[in-house]
Amino acid sequence: MFLKEIIETWTNPVQFIEGIEISKNDKLKIVEAGRFAPSAGNQQVFRFLLIDNENSNKIIIQSIEARDPRLASTLKQIKKPNLRNNFVYSIENFNAKTDKYKVYIYEHHFDDINCAKSASFFIICTHKNTITGKMFGHTDMGAAITNMILMAYDLGYHCRWIRIFDREFIRERFNIPLSIFIDAILVVGKVKENVEITEYKAKDVNDFYFYNQWDENLTIKDWQSENIEFNNYDIEVVDAIVDRRSIRSFNENKSIPRSIILELLKAGMIIPLTINHPYLKIIVVEDRSFLNQIAKHSKIVLKQSHVGEVPLIIVITYDCSNNSPGFYSETDSGSIIQSILLRAHTLGIGSCWIGAFNRKVVRKILKIPEDWHIPSMAIFGYPNNYPKPTPRVDLGKVCYYNSWKNHIKKRKRTLLPDYFALSIWFRKFRNTQVTTLLRKRKVGIVKGIPEFEQFL
């Protein structure tokens, strides 16, 4: 399936058809898409626990019914974001009593339970609490979740992303060590065909994004008028997941057409649960002077000269004024960015996730309020090169089966090649119908992406 098709047709499931068996191979393909997600410093801190036996299923349903005990907290003292939690907003200090977002958080909890009860299998999404994991693990996991949702849809299934559940109950029952953070549960199943689920319709692009600075409205009315033929660019979503890579050298003289930016913004809104809440806001920065200021002043330890070469930066923020949705939003933001990065790749746009930057400076330049945390930004432009792909660890290392540390067997030959390097090899054959041993399915006739292909 093309990503564009998914953007237009994917809906959040509210109920699955009961008793549907999904083959183990398909289950692993979905998890595997997760492991191809980008991660800060390529640390790949994510660990997935695949659950498909009856007893364990019951534990998961129980944990979802028990909700998230953290949401019952009435802690009085709320810390403001400060330099010490420059990267991730602290999740401990949180006051649910005064939470203005509570209504949004619980809005669809019934659907969570319904889906869990009728699901075919579950993926418990966790990450290691290493130094990088603490700073970026939640965001990394968001990216992995996007990949898994898309992959499942490509295979004919639906995923529901569950945030509200009793994490400590899950930890205890599945023996998950304290050095692991439990992010989310993905509930996977098959939905009845042609179900219109209107309450999850995404909000309007104009309402979700700010333009150039905080509180500046985006008006996309005129953006569609530029008639750019980009439909031909679409590559299959599985190719996008495997082929995407961080670009760190951009053509400084080439700006991105507005109609393409609009496609990116729509991609950021694929998953309605992440975007239908008022606590997330994204700023689309195109103004040259702001771009220059960000590039010049927001560096921290890393050089990051690529930030200065791009015509577009997307900055993601979430409200932590009373800290309540903070521990969900970090992951939401990763998911949104990954959707945009994938769409960018399919349109010939190079991109790079930026997590290491001075948030104080960016806050000042873009006039982001003190209470809004800035988990990440992403940069976009036409590539100057197409670097070698970054390797990923084996699926056997990041995926456990039914109990913690029960590694699935090493899988060398799977739907996706083990290393990105092989995807370069694929590109050479993409216009011919070849069935490969590596990918046990036909590689359809996919038009290449000239922007990247020129460097191969």
Ligand X SMILES: Cc1cc2nc3c(=O)[nH]c(=O)nc-3n(C[C@H](O)[C@H](O)[C@H](O)COP(=O)(O)O)c2cc1C
Decide the pairing of beta strands 158-162 and 180-189: antiparallel
Q: How far is the CB of 132 from ligand X (least distance, A)?
A: 9
Q: How far is the CB of 38 from ligand X (least distance, A)?
A: 3
Please give the angle made by the CA atoms of 55, 61 and 64, to the nearest 5 degrees: 145
First to last CA, the chain: 24
Amino acid at 258: R
415: CB partners within 8 A, 6+ apart: 29, 32, 238, 439, 440, 441
Backbone dihedral region of 283: left (phi > 0), alpha (psi from -120 to 50 degrees) or beta? beta
The radius of gyration of the chain from alpha carbons, rounded to an integer in Å, stands at 21
Residue 305 is a binding residue for ligand X (CB under 6 A): no
* CA torsion, ordered 63, 64, 67, 68, to nearest 10 deg: 70
Return the number of the residue (12 or 43) whose C-beta is nearest ligand X.
Answer: 43
Residue 39 is a binding residue for ligand X (CB under 6 A): yes
Return the number of the residue (188 or 341) whose C-beta is nearest ligand X.
Answer: 341
Residue 423 is a binding residue for ligand X (CB under 6 A): no
298: CB partners within 8 A, 6+ apart: 307, 357, 358, 361, 362, 365
Stretch that binds ligand X, among 32-40, 193-201, 232-240, 276-284 (CB under 6 A): 32-40
Rounded Cα distance between 384 and 393, Å, is: 27
Cα distances (angstroms) measured from residue 176 to each of 11, 188, 407: 31, 21, 14
Return the number of the residue (46 or 210) whose C-beta is nearest ligand X.
Answer: 46
Residue span 151-190 as binding mask against ligand X, x where in contact by CB under 6 A, dash where not? ----------------------------------------
Size of interface with ligand X, in residues (CB under 6 A): 21
Tokens at 305, concatenated: 């000269």
Pick from 87, 122, 136, 452: which binds ligand X (CB under 6 A)?
A: 136
Stretch that binds ligand X, among 138-146, 203-211, 276-284, 400-408 (CB under 6 A): 138-146
Rounded Cα distance between 328 and 334, Å, is: 10
Stretch that binds ligand X, among 2-10, 39-47, 398-406, 440-448 (CB under 6 A): 39-47
Pick from 63, 139, 298, 346: which binds ligand X (CB under 6 A)?
A: 139
Pick from 4, 26, 29, 38: which binds ligand X (CB under 6 A)?
A: 38
What DSSP line would sit under 234-286, residue for residue?
Answer: --BHHHHHHH--B---B-TT-PPPHHHHHHHHHHTTS-HHHHSSTTEEEEEE-
Return the number of the residue (190 or 245) whose C-beta is nearest ligand X.
Answer: 245
Residue span 265-304 as binding mask against ligand X, x where in contact by CB under 6 A, dash where not? -------------------------------------x-x
Is 442 exposed, middle or buried, given 0-12, 13-18 or 19+ CB atoms closer than 10 A? exposed
Rounded Cα distance between 81 and 288, Å, is: 29
Pick from 81, 272, 325, 355: which binds ligand X (CB under 6 A)?
A: 355
Residue 390 is a binding residue for ligand X (CB under 6 A): yes
Q: How far is the CB of 43 from ligand X (least distance, A)?
A: 8
Stretch that binds ligand X, among 47-55, 230-238, 354-362, 441-449 (CB under 6 A): 354-362
Footprint on residues 213-252 left by ligand X (CB under 6 A): 245-246, 248
Binding stretches for ligand X (CB under 6 A) = 38-42, 136, 139-140, 143, 245-246, 248, 302, 304, 352-356, 376, 390
